[in-house]
Amino acid sequence: MTFERTTDYELIKKIVSHPKVYPYVSDDHSPAPQDWKPIENDVVWYVLVKDGGEILGMWIFIPETQVCWKVHTCLLPNAYGERARKAAKLMAQWIWENTTCLRIVTDVPKYNRLAYHFARAAGMQEFGLNPRSYMKSGILHDQILLGMSKCQ
């Protein structure tokens, strides 16, 4: 598997707005999938993951500080299963080696048990709860806060 930062904003939009991805990375205040646009700057890192020449999806990294970066997972259906788990474990090492990031954090709506277990399998540890902070289908949900550090 390989990882690479991309600024191919058409490809980024195609991945994020995919019908099997967008429902899990959007909330009630997100635009319609066809209206979603990537942030075009040097701060946000869109990192593609490929297996051979096949694109499995990407991760979006947004630095909160120079050393703590929030991650959003956008993996396509062809990555589901073992390849996704392998990619997630390899991604952390790639980030440590290619950025100033020393801690990766994410938040998962409490109802999304699949995403929670995926983050845990990737090595993230639960460190908190953000109550009633995510609105989906008109319902406020708690978000579980997870993270991993380079030096754990």
What tens digit of pLDDT does each residue of 54-73 get? 999 999 999 999 999 999 99
Fold of 2-149: Aminopeptidase (3.40.630)
- Give the orientation angle of helix 113-121 with respect to helix 82-98, to 10 degrees: 60
pLDDT level of residue 152 (50, 70, 90 thresholds): low
Please indicate, yes or no, whether the overall pTM of this predicted structure exceeds 0.75: yes
25 membership: H or E segment, kind and range: helix 22-25
Rounded to whole angstroms, the Cα distance separating 59 from 77 reads: 14
